Structure 1
Amino acid sequence: MLRKKSLRLPLLSVLVIVSSALGIAQDVQDDFEGNGTIATWFGDDCGMNINFTNPFQQGINTSATVLKYNDTGGQYANVRFDAVSNFDFTTKNTFRLNIYVPSSGITGGSPNQVSLKLQDGTLDEPWITQSEIIKPLQLDQWQEVTFDFENDNSNNLDVSSLPPIQRTDFNRIVIQVNGENNNDLVLAYLDDVLFYETISTSPVFDYLVWSDEFEGSGAINELNWFHQTQIPSIGSWYNNEQQHYTDRVENAFVSEGNLNVVAINETFSDQGITKQYTSARLNSKFAFTYGKVEVRAKLPSGTGTWPAIWMLGQNITENGAYWQTQGYGTVPWPACGEVDIMEHWGSNQNYVQSAMHTPSSSGATVNHGGQYLATASSEFHVYEMDWNSDRIRFSVDGITHYTYHPEVQNADTWPFDAPQYILLNFAIQESITNAFTQDAMEIDYVRVYQTNPSSVNEEVSLIEMSIYPNPTKELLTLQLQEGNQLDKAVLYNTLGQALKTFNTVSIALTDLAAGTYFLRVTTSWGDITKRVIKQ
């Protein structure tokens, strides 16, 4: 097996402060002016000088001394160092460095990029353990580059490995400029390497705003879900799926506290087309922007089975989809954005995957990650998607396996600043075996969380009014100040659509789906709006 070359860095200012390892506080840094704690710098198939006069004392880096990185054509050229003990990523998980790559110092057509790799340097083949982050570079200028192993897209050479922040076997840092497996020349300068703690500014999604617990038995709750059955104009479902999606209770029903999405081997004709399999494809009647989705599910098994828990933009122009029928369709796929929370192929039984589909990849499965799950079809697991304004993170049972965090956010890479809705479906592939009769994706619950209402600005009013209980399952009561009289109360959904009008202080919400609503109350003293949570 070839030794993996760490990506070659353009002139890189590297400052790395390594946090505690194995419980011992470990300070790892180097400014290449005698103030560093790194004593193990090594050029691997690469010339290196850690006491080189800075030839470009300008911009963000006017320091006198830097590390000179001189790849003279080594196939796996890199520079590296070993820490005195293993890294502990429980509090620190980000590396930062400065780098300068002069355009006159490179040859070939390799991408201008820098890679930072984590490895276990105690092994004879340390690269087999590596986790890597790659960042693009600008030539002819000093720039600061960060490698955040919690939020950036990282790649494990061994895809079955845990996410890097959950590992404790890393003790080597490898820096590589302009890739490996090439003989291009690269001259780069590094300075100020730092390993440090990042303070999360991400919102906390801990307030339940919508859910289906699938209580009772029989048909699905049509206040929450829509059966998508209309075949696309190509005459079959995409990806050469073999099934009809139906609105029959045989293919989607609630029993013993679970939703069952059932695929059946049976001859079925619909819309003038006969197929040999049926199943269900459900659209949520709830759409949202930013939040956390949790789905507790047990998956079917067998070659040719393909269950999925995913999301599409509410604005997709897909005939027969719920939000298209409501007039929201404005853009085609993939411009609407697709978020695959969980996909499982029976041909790869013990693996689940998450993926992103955007115009930047022409809709292809380019941005993805997953993990091995030996009990995917025998036990329930919680599949989670956490979505904020600049990244989307995926996990199973609290173990993160992929984060989508594009460096540049635009319509091509980030159509995820608009509402998305949830889909649950069980597709059948061409590879389905003749022995297949039927199977089900069982779902215990679907829950959507957003930020606590206390952090959301409601209408400021001098009118005092209390509503209780809130959250509520059935009845909501309004209490106004003495002397103030109720005129009317109008309940709106999150899309601003008026749903109900009341003229009493006791409001029945029994027939509403679980979720977030807004109550606009008109009184003799004026108007006030309150957020209402229906459980």
Structure 2
Amino acid sequence: MKNKILQIISVLFLSYTVQAQTDIIEDFETTTPNYNWVGDDCNVDTHFANPFITSQNNSTFVLKYNDDGGDYANVRFDYGENFDLSGSHAFNMMIYVPSSSLTGNSPNQISLKLQNANLPEPWSTQTEIIKPITLDQWQTVSFNFNQDNYINLDPNSPAPQLRTDFNRVLIQINGEANTDEVTAYIDNFTYTCTTTTTPTTPIFDELVWQDEFNYSGAVDSEKWFHQTLLPNGNSWFNGEIQHYTDRLENAEVSNGTLKIRAKSEVFTDQGVTKTHTSARLNSKFAFTYERVKIRAKLPTGIGTWPALWLLGQNINEDGAYWDNQGFDTTAWPACGEIDIMEHWGNNQDYVSSAIHTPSSFGGTVNYGGRMLPNASNAFHDYEMIWTPDYIEFRVDGVSHYTYEPEVKNSSTWPFDANQYLLLNVAILPSISPSFTESSLEIDYVRIYQNSTLNQAEVNRLNEVSIYPNPAKHLVNLNRAKQVSNYIIYNQLGQVVSKAALVKTQINVSDLAKGAYSIKLIDAQQNTRTMKLVIQ
């Protein structure tokens, strides 16, 4: 099936495509940073306990920059390759300068300089952007050499966006050629580069599944499943400390949005008592090669961990919706995991996307992210574009990571089979004792496919799912247009029902309680058989 899809998609593409990646992420949370930060005429500590933990930046560790009067004090690192400034790009960082650390009358500012570290005098061809800063508060400062005013030390140097020789980043606080003192704290340094290239992206323009949450009460049970079963009988994965429940208190639709509410409360379920509750929803829709767009506002609080993500429909995970339907053939991470958005409350202004596969042993190796200062105060569009060649992640239409392995096999690319959507807020042991509750609020979930694919040439029965399952009276089929006929067999292999599919529902009210198999047949006589339970 994959080869046929590739042949069709190869002639369907946009006039251009945008590729972007967060190439540098430095949060200073580990004792050894990702890059070798060197201080000139100043003291630098790359793993210093954050002395100003606030709602703007609740990171545990930061970089401390202490200029005790050096004429040309700065901190710098070498990137290892040359920056491409030709496309859209941004250097971002957070900074806090306490007024009590200042002497003299130097301007309150931060400078980001780019240099060629391979030159005997790297500063001789440098370019620089200077931004003002506010004392006694955390703030995010952004530098863009295509949009901001820059200063070339050598006025004969080309514009920065025309150069390809920069490979060193240098940061300077409150100017140079002075002996004034200043202490600054720097955190969450990132560099994101976006370039325009020749496209191969199919146009995902047909809305095939959605929830606009334009109702009130519990989530739509025809679309969502509450996953509540503790996977090992006692706790959830990753050290999570909450119970996931199916209560309205933890997942409620009101005023046009879904609220997945994490709460501090003593709650007992399955014979286990925990101190926090939340909700974890599975979609009753599974799909391959689609565009997913979710508009959401994130919770707050150190120890909160909201996620919008996907798992393979074939995952063997007791209690998950598709496991209950008999698809449980593959362990994690061989089933594949796509994290559209993850957010950790101890890094409030940062969101991340990631891919988990056997090639990385399930670890967070393939990932990218971006700073998003108002992630919990405003709605943002989180988007994933999944093609046969790559998976791209965007926030508000701007790409920040693309996964495109050179070699695609079961180890690097378990993404040629159906995945399903999960929405949840986990609670980690680092949750504050003062935490009461906070919500992941979702405005809508929309899934799009490429409407121009020639359905007659491709077997897409693997994209069809049935719900509810178990069923009592009616079985619904998503992607019903892929199905021409169906046959239902009992456990003895006898045909108990067969017909042409003329609606999106099958009436099973005449069937006795028990387990059955349903075979779906398309116009090309391709088939797919699934387990069906009547209750």
Identify the TM-score tier after normalising by the shorter chain: 0.5 to 0.7
2:55 aligns to what? Answer: none
Matched-pair contact (CA < 8 Å) for 1:491–1:520:
no
* Counterpart check, 1:263 vs 2:270: no
Whole-angstrom distance in 2 between the partners of 1:19 and 1:281: 42
Residues 159 and 455 of structure 1: is their aligned pair in 2 closer, same or farther, counting only changes over 3 Å?
Answer: farther
- Contact 2:222/2:284 (<8 A) preserved: yes
Matched letter for residue 415 of structure 1: P
CA distance in 1, matches of 2:432, 2:367: 27
- Against the structure 1 CA distance between its residues 435 and 292, is the aligned structure 2 distance closer, same or farther, given a 3 Å change threshold? same
Q: Which residue of 2 aligns with 1:403?
A: 402
Provide the rounded CA distance (Å) in 1 between the counterparts of 2:211 and 2:481.
Answer: 17
- Report deviation, 1:495: 8.4
Q: Deviations over 1:146-182 (max 9, x none)?
A: xxxxxxxxxxxx965463126xxxxxxxxxxxxxxxx
SS for the counterpart of 1:335 is: coil
By how many angstroms is 1:404 displaced?
A: 1.1
Q: Cα distance, 1:198 vs. partner?
A: 3.9
Q: Give yes or no for the alignment of 1:426 onto 2:455.
A: no
The number of aligned residues is 341
CA distance in 1, matches of 2:230, 2:407: 36
Q: Determine the structure 2 residue equivalent to 1:457.
A: 455
Partner AA of 2:453 in structure 1: S
Q: Which residue of structure 1 lines up, in the alignment, with residue 128 of structure 2?
A: none
1:384 aligns with 2:413: no
Contact 2:301 2:438 in 1 (8 A): no
Q: Which residue of 1 aligns with 2:194?
A: 165
Could you say what secondary structure the match of 2:194 adopts? helix
Alpha-carbon contact 1:491-1:498 (below 8 Å) kept: no
Q: Hey, what's the Cα distance between the residues in 2 that align with 1:290 and 1:207?
A: 12
TM-score by length of 1: 0.56
* Equivalent residue letter for 1:165: T
Are 2:230 and 1:231 equivalent residues in the alignment? yes
The percentage of counterpart residues that share the same residue type is 51
Counterpart-to-counterpart distance in 2, 1:509 and 1:491? 9
Aligned to 2:131: none
Question: 1:105-254 to 2 correspondence within 5 Å?
Answer: 120=166, 125-126=168-169, 160-161=189-190, 163-165=192-194, 198-233=197-232, 235-254=234-253
Are 1:364 and 2:363 matched, yes or no? yes
In 2: Cα distance, 1:328 partner to 1:127 partner: 53
Tell me by how many angstroms 1:85 deviates.
Answer: 3.6
1:351 Cα deviation (Å)?
A: 0.8
C-alpha separation in 2, matches of 1:228 and 1:495: 29
User: Which segment drifts farther, 407-416 or 283-292?
Assistant: 407-416
Q: 1:321 aligns to what? A: 320
TM-aligned CA distance change 1:494 to 1:227, over 3 Å? farther
- Structure 1: gaps (5+ residues): 10-16, 22-40, 46-81, 89-116, 130-157, 167-196, 461-489, 512-518, 528-535
Counterpart of 1:455 in structure 2: which amino acid? Answer: L
CA 1:126–1:337 in structure 2 vs 1: closer, same or farther (change >3 Å)?
A: same
Change in CA separation of 1:126 and 1:351 when aligned onto 2, cut-off 3 Å: closer
1:459: how far off?
7.2
Q: 1:503 to 1:265 in 2, by over 3 A?
A: same
The verdict on how the C-alpha distance between 1:18 and 1:285 changes in structure 2, with shifts beyond 3 A counting, is closer
* Shift in CA distance, 495/239, structure 1 to aligned 2, threshold 3 Å: farther
- Is the contact between residue 285 and residue 478 of structure 2 (CA under 8 Å) also seen in structure 1? no
- Give me the whole-angstrom Cα distance separating, in 1, the residues matched to 2:398 and 2:81: 31
- The aligned amino acid for 1:324 is D
User: What's the offset of the Cα at 1:501?
Assistant: 9.0
Measured at CA, do residues 504 and 381 of structure 1 come closer, stay the same or move farther in structure 2, by a change above 3 Å? Answer: closer
Aligned counterparts of 2:482 and 2:258: Cα–Cα separation in 1: 27
Which runs of structure 1 show a deviation greater than 4 angstroms over 4 or more consecutive aligned residues? Answer: 1-9, 17-21, 41-45, 117-121, 125-129, 158-162, 494-505, 507-511, 519-522
Q: Which residue of 2 aligns with 1:439?
A: 438
- Secondary structure of the 1:165 match is strand
Conserved 8 A contact 2:381-2:395: yes
- Secondary structure at the counterpart of residue 455 of structure 2: coil
Query: Could you report, residue by residue, the CA deviation over 1:227-255 in whole angstroms, capped at 9, with x for unpaired residues?
Result: 10110126200011111111112111110
* Aligned residue in 2 for 1:32: none
> Cα offset for 1:83?
8.6
Q: What does 1:458-477 correspond to in 2, within 5 Å?
A: 458=456
Amino acid paired to 2:262: A
Q: Who is 2:58 aligned against?
A: none
User: Which structure 2 segments of 5+ residues have no match?
Assistant: 1-36, 39-75, 89-115, 121-155, 173-186, 459-476, 488-496, 508-519, 526-535
For 1:83 and 1:317, how far apart are their aligned partners in 2?
A: 59
The CA distance in 2 between the partners of 1:346 and 1:437, in whole Å, is 14
Structure 1: how far apart are the matches of 2:189 and 2:320? 36
Deviation at 1:366, TM superposition (A): 1.2
Helix, strand or coil for the counterpart of 2:238? helix
- Partners in 1 of 2:304 and 2:422 — Cα distance? 17
Instruction: Give the Cα–Cα distance (whole angstroms) in 2 for the partners of residues 42 and 267 of structure 1.
Output: 57
CA distance in 1, matches of 2:325, 2:432: 38
445 and 85 in structure 1: CA distance in 2 versus 1, 3 angstrom threshold: same
* 1:344 paired residue number: 343
Deviation track 1:499-519 (CA, whole Å, cap 9, x = no partner) reads 9999998x68899xxxxxxx9
Q: In the superposition, relative to structure 1, how do residues 206 and 162 fare at CA in structure 2: closer, same or farther (>3 Å)?
A: farther
- Tell me, in whole angstroms, the C-alpha distance in 1 between the residues paired with 2:257 and 2:251: 10
1:280 counterpart letter in structure 2: A
The match for 1:136 is none
